[in-house]
Structures are given as C-alpha cells and as structure tokens.
Structure 1
C-alpha cells in the first residue's frame, strides 16, 4: 500500500493539527463508548429521547447543545436540553407530577444528594471505575454515599473551579528581587522577606461581601483542611461527622492565622480585612509600598480577573502578562498540592440505554472540546488536552487544575445552607478578632441539623 505525502504550507499547519486532534478525539470516543457499553449490561431500551436539565444559559447553553449534538449524530438519540431558572423547585415539582427528567446536572452536590432516594446509582449506567481513572483525584467522591456514586463531574466552573491560584505582579516581583515560590518553604520565606524588606504586605486579602461577608476566609480554611487532613477528613467535615472544633480543622485555622493574621501579613490586619471587598485588587498593582497598602500575593479564583483595573484587564485580554500573572498555591509541607473549587455534576433519574449513552459522553475526558472553543470551560479530567484551552489565563488555570494531586469541592457550598451561612458569620467574627477560633467553631457546629 502506498503512502501519500501531503505538503502543508506554514499557515495550514494549525488547521491540520486541529483536524488531527478532532479525528483522534472522534476515534477515541467511539472506541471508549464501545468499551464502556460492554460494562453496562441489563439496561432497558430507551425511546431515543433524553431530557437533560442543566444550569447552562445563553452562550454556554448553545455550546453545550453543540456538544450533545455529537452524541445525537452518532446514536440517533434526541437530547433535549432544558434550563430551569430554579432547578430545585423544578425537580420538586417534577417529583410531584411524576415527570422527572432523565439526566440532571447540578452545581452543588448537597442538592444532588438530597434526591439520592430517587436517583440511579451511576454504577448501573456507566463504568465508574474507568471514569475515575481520568478524573482529578477527589472529584469522584464528591457526590457518593457509601459504595454508590450518584453524581460525577461534567465540568469544573472556570471562574471558581480553582480557588487555589495566587495572583501576583511580575513587575513588582522583579523590582523587589522576588521569585515565584515553587514549594511551601519558599512561600513562607517570601512572606517573611517581604515583611523584613517593608516593601509592602505579603498578602492581599479582603473578606467583605455584603450579606456573604466571610466567604473568602472559608476558602482559606478549606485549603488547609484538605491539604493537612486529607480527603476523607475533608468530606466528613462537610457532612458534619468531623466538627469545626476538631484537631484537624483547628490546625488548619492556626495555619490561616499564621499566614494572614500575624503582624505585617495583611494591610490593617483582620479588622481591615473584614472591611475590604473580596474583589479589591488595586493594592496588587500599587508601587507605593507599606504606606499605600501595596500587597504582593492574592489567593483567589480565576474570576478575580474581572476585578482588575480596566487597563490591566485590557493587557490580559491582549495576552500581555507583564503586570499580572498567577501560580498554583504550593503546599506548605511535604504534602499533596490541592485545589479547592466547584463545578457541575451529572446524575440520572432514569436507567436505560439512551441515558447511558449520553452519560458516557458527558462524563468522559473528551467532553468539552466543543465548549472550550467558544465559552469558558474547565475540565475535571487530568487527561483533558490542556492545549485545547485558549492561550493565556484559561490555559494556565487548566494546567494548574489538571496537575493538582487532589480536588476538594468548596466545603462551605456543599454544607447545609444554615451551616454555610453560620460559617461565613463566625469566620468573619474570628478574622476581626471578636471571637477565638474555639468560640467560632462552636457556633458553626451548633448550626448543623442533628
């Protein structure tokens, strides 16, 4: 058999690479589906229509439909997307009317698991073990109970799917001779060096957010509960089996206190933190030193770019990262690098072959190749093609997320609502110095439904 040689002009190389990636992904998907189908015997035949509820709107909904059209083209299954304005109310109404959708994509495992008595365990529909192999560790357990998995991630939230990023100004670092820390020892050393130099404050940190004041501090605490105590304790903490006054959570609170509440760490200390908006980024770009409140590092999710000064946003959009960049928060000790975030989780109310087909695709590491072209998208799979993300912050976030050792779903979001709200209130009081950590922990623990 002869081999045809194709000459490619330089300007056509990118198009050819995109074509090859598409072909490779298509072949991989077809083979994967065949393999996974063999692992889901005993399914009833579907009616070739699958109803999906999802919290995607506008451009994201259109991009999601394009993803689903790939399944329709291959299988002949009509996938109908519905986007209820209030998902929980709609599900409750559907339960009463006995007209539940086939698949629901949730933005909170708490709400998903509240309906576990009516959901189908995904082990009955897909090869969960195979999906786990490609997921970032920690994601597969977010919506499970005992040995049953009721939900698996479709995507992380591009804005808040990785809240373990540290933004900094390369210009400010260069002016002061600072280097980006690559491990915990270097991070602590940099923190102390900035204090010693009196060039500014190591950390930018505001927790004011109106009625939700305190939530940024909960992210800090979650970071170190997961990093120091591990996934099992973290998940038990969410469910209330590990208390806020436990040794594990109290140890994480001590770490947060050392980083943020020790003298010289943050402008104005805890009192000023509680008055400063979570999106106040101006001091990050200041060059006025201590007197101006200049700070050098800002831990937050990628949504922080929306709060940059207009001229900095313009630089970022143009691909210029001289004024701002970001790095993954390194673990403080010899432990796993963890990521705190959130995302969208798929579940099923119906057990049939059509639902299985659709789930196998949306839960695979090939899902998102269409969405990433036109809307913000972040895959929960460590095997997702990082080069598919647009160049710039999206690719940086994608790589930092994929390379993480362990993912933890935003604990306060996943906790019961009244606990979430008390968490904000109590941690804000602690940050302000109005209460000790034991008192704050006791107040939060008392809010759990028993």
Structure 2
C-alpha cells in the first residue's frame, strides 16, 4: 500500500512539474532571473576576494552572480562554447584568445560605459565586419619586467631561480624572459612587430633574445634543469601557501624574474623588487619600457545584465569594493587613469610596483605570447621548455624554424576575414 501511495505521489509531482515547465499553471514560473555566470582565472584568496566583491554589486538590480574560478580557463571556456553553454561574462588574460572569439562572433561588443575604460595597451579596438569596436575591458593589471631578490644580496652577479611548471600552460615563465629581453634589447617597435606576427622568428633580434637568456642562466647541471622543469613558478608548497622560488628548498638562487602578481607569496619584508632592464643586457634607450599583463572581462551573453555587470566591475566603485575585500598580498592593481580610484600601497614592495606602473614607466607593451594566436603561443611555450633543456645553437635553429612555420601558417590563413588577425597596437 505504501509503495502504491509513493508511486501515485511521484506521478503527481512529475505531472505537476511538467505542467509548470510548460507554463500552463499560474504561479509555477518564477520572476527571479537566473544568476549571471562569471568565469575567471582566480582561485584561492584571489578568487574569494573577487567573489566577495561580486556579491556586493547588486545595488538594487535584483540580479545575482555565480563565480566559477579555474586554473584551466581556456579548456573550460572552450568546452562550454562547444556545448553552447558559455558563461555570461568571462575574464581572460589572453588578447589572442579574445581576438579569436570576437572574430568568430562569440563576443558581444561592449556598451559605451564599459568601452570608455578600455585603455591601452590592455584593450585595443578590433575591426570586425568592417566596424571598429571594443570587445573587452581590463579589470586588473599586472606589471612584468620585474626582478625579485632577497634583501641584503648583491645584484652584481645574480644566480637565477627558474620554475617553469604551470599545469597545462607550463613554459610561460620562460617566454616572459625572452619577451622582456627582446623588448629591452630591440625596443618596442621590434617587439610589437614580433608579437603581432609581422616579424620572423628567425630574425637576428629574436635569436639574440633566446641566446641572451641562456647566457644569463649560465651552466646548469642536469639535476637543476630537471628541477626547474618540474617545479611550479610558485615554488615548493608550504604549510599554507607556496614558498616562492627564493625560499624553496633545493634552489640555491638569489634572484627571480617574475610578474608583480608573485608578491602574494612574498609577504614579508625580506624581499625587494626592482626593474629588470639592467639585468637583461639591453639598451639604455629602452630602460623605461615595461611588459604588462592583464585580466580582461568580455561579454558572451545576449543578456543586457551581462553588459551592466562588466560596466559595474570596471567602475571606480566596483574596483574600490574589490580592493576592500582582498588581502594586501592579493589586492588588484590598477593604473592611474581618469575616474579610477588611486591605489594605496600596502607595503614598500607594492609602493615600488605602483610607482613604476603609474609614474616611471614610459612605454607599456602587452605580454607578447598573450597577443599571439593560441596555436603559436602554445608552440612558443613548448619551444621554451625544449630550449631550456638543450640550448645548443643547432637545437635553437630548429626550434625557431618550427615556430616560424606555425607563424607563417597562421598568417596565410588570415586572408579569411573570420580567421585570426591580431591587433597591432599593443604598446602604449
């Protein structure tokens, strides 16, 4: 008897649910819209701070937001697009990927309020369907071209820490080295042509950047090479968070070439930061040029609320909330542009980075590999890992020839208006 009653109740519930889904019964449908989904790269403390700021953005709009943070951002987004279930807003650090999505009609051009905050070099406009429009806006930025070292150590003869592992994107700490060296040796014009596929990988300036890196690293034992290839850019794990390469066991090194974001593992007062230019064998003419990166928000949804969310996130009020929610070590950095809140440095390291970004940098160039089409960027990552293991001239010539083949193939396909053509203005 009980089983019969249960079956009857179950059938009744299923029928009622079906009727509700068909909107045949008043009151079955809800007036509350689904939460907007935001896909982004931040996890851990960074992710919690961003999610907390996101939850405070309601301001009476009645919309709620769901944040999905992942270290495998490209893979996650590609799978969602293939399933025709993209997020409403995605936050990416690759101009190359964003350009690809814009040319395939996956992105929606930004409304004017958000587009006004798309400052160079983080968000160049794109020509799509014979219209020049803005498709993304930076939410936070990072200064590269930095060297970290232990307080009290001399910078005259540095021993370099190198950790190249990073899940699916291993190798990018090495591409950062080569990009930074090329920028300071050859200057922003050559850097820009190379990053946007208008300069051959076999150009002498490009080759020199690779060989300079090998020379700076010096002789390394097979054991140290293997350790660098298998150790995370964050260093070895500590009790609460990674130790950073400068403090990791087994790394007898004094200096590290890394972006400003790494400050979250160096929270004490025993580490200093300085511009990388003087370490790279570059020209004094390009000393005040810096490589930068960023995390850019783009709209994948037709929902007008997604456009409004990007406008709120990029507004002064949104950024103030984000800073207020974040621990000092992971607070987002913003350049001093009109209408944005000034950053109050939390410590001497952040003060130095803020001063370089907003006062002393004369030229800012976006991360070259993050401008390249994804196929070429990934090939660059792999080539760096191979070169690190074997920097012989003959091996380098082979690697550069392979990269040039990939570049030429992408360039040949660019005759199609829907194929990848990178923006050209990546230095400002």
Assess, with a 3 A threshold, how the Cα gap between structure 1 residues 441 and 151 changes in structure 2: closer, same or farther.
Answer: same
> Which residue pairs with 1:122 in the alignment?
109
Hey, what does 2:276 align to over in structure 1?
329
**Alpha carbons of structure 1 residues 274 and 363: separation in structure 2 relative to 1, 3 Å:** same
Aligned partner of residue 58 in structure 2, secondary structure: helix
- 3-state DSSP of counterpart to 2:319: coil
Contact 1:369 1:388 in 2 (8 A): no
Q: Does 1:274 align with 2:229?
A: no
Structure 2: unaligned runs, 5 residues or longer: 1-32, 237-242, 411-428
Q: 1:233 to 1:48 in 2, by over 3 A?
A: farther
Change (3 A) 1:48 1:297: closer
User: What SS is found at the alignment partner of 2:66?
Assistant: strand
Q: Displacement, 1:444?
A: 2.3
Matched, 1:250 2:207: yes
Shift in Å, 1:97 = 5.8
Q: Deviations over 1:71-94 (max 9, x none)?
A: 421x51514223165655654565
Task: Note the aligned Cα RMSD (angstroms).
Answer: 4.3
Matches within 5 A, 1:124-143: 124-126=111-113, 128=115, 130-132=116-118, 135=119, 137-141=120-124
Q: 2:148 aligns with which of 167, 185, 199?
A: 167
Q: TM-score, normalised by structure 2?
A: 0.64
* Partner deviation per Cα, 1:37-70 (whole Å, 9 max, x = no partner): xxxxxxxxxx796443333445444432443345
Query: Counterparts of 1:31-430 in structure 2 under 5 Å?
Result: 50-57=36-43, 59-73=45-59, 76-83=61-68, 85=70, 87-88=73-74, 91-92=77-78, 94-95=80-81, 98-116=84-102, 117-126=104-113, 128=115, 130-132=116-118, 135=119, 137-141=120-124, 144=126, 147-156=132-141, 161-173=142-154, 194=156, 201-206=157-162, 209=165, 215-229=172-186, 233-234=190-191, 236-253=193-210, 256-257=212-213, 261=215, 266=217, 268=219, 274-275=225-226, 277=228, 279=235, 297-302=255-260, 316-317=267-268, 320-321=269-270, 324-330=271-277, 332=282, 333-335=284-286, 337-350=288-301, 353-373=304-324, 374-375=326-327, 376-383=330-337, 385=341, 387-403=343-359, 404=361, 405-409=363-367, 411=369, 415-416=374-375, 418-429=378-389
Q: CA deviation at 1:245?
A: 0.9
Asked if the contact 1:166/1:299 (under 8 Å) is kept, the reply is yes
Contact persistence 1:283–1:294 (CA under 8 A):
no
- The question of 1:440 aligning with 2:399 is answered yes
Cα distance change of structure 1 residues 343 and 115 upon mapping to structure 2, 3 Å threshold: same
Deviation at 1:411, TM superposition (A): 1.2
Greater fraction of residues in helix: 1
Could you state the TM-score of these two structures normalised by the residue count of structure 1? Answer: 0.61
Q: Say if 1:206 and 1:273 are closer, same or farther in 2 by CA, change over 3 A.
A: farther
Go from structure 1 to structure 2 and tell me whether the alpha carbon gap of 1:283 and 1:372 turns closer, same or farther (over 3 Å shift): closer
Q: Does the CA-based 8 Å contact 2:319-2:341 persist in structure 1?
A: no
Q: Say if 1:214 and 1:274, in contact at 8 Å, map to a contact too.
A: no
C-alpha displacement at 1:221, in angstroms? Answer: 1.1
Q: CA deviation at 1:244?
A: 1.2
Instruction: Report the alpha carbon displacement of residue 223 of structure 1 after superposing the two structures with TM.
Output: 0.7
8 Å contact kept, 1:430–1:436: yes
* Structure 1 spans left out of the alignment, 5+ residues: 1-46, 174-189, 195-200, 286-292, 308-312
Distance 1:213 1:104 in 2: 22
Shift of 1:103: 1.9
Q: Name 1:7's counterpart in structure 2.
A: none
Q: How has the CA–CA distance of structure 1 residues 370 and 393 changed in structure 2, closer, same or farther, with 3 Å as cutoff?
A: farther
Going from structure 1 to structure 2, the CA distance change for 1:252 and 1:103 (only over 3 Å counts) comes to same
CA contact (8 A) 2:140 2:296 kept: yes
Q: CA deviation at 1:140?
A: 1.8
In the TM superposition, residue 406 of structure 1 has moved relative to its aligned partner by 0.1
| Residues 237 and 282 of structure 1, relative CA distance in 2, 3 Å threshold | closer
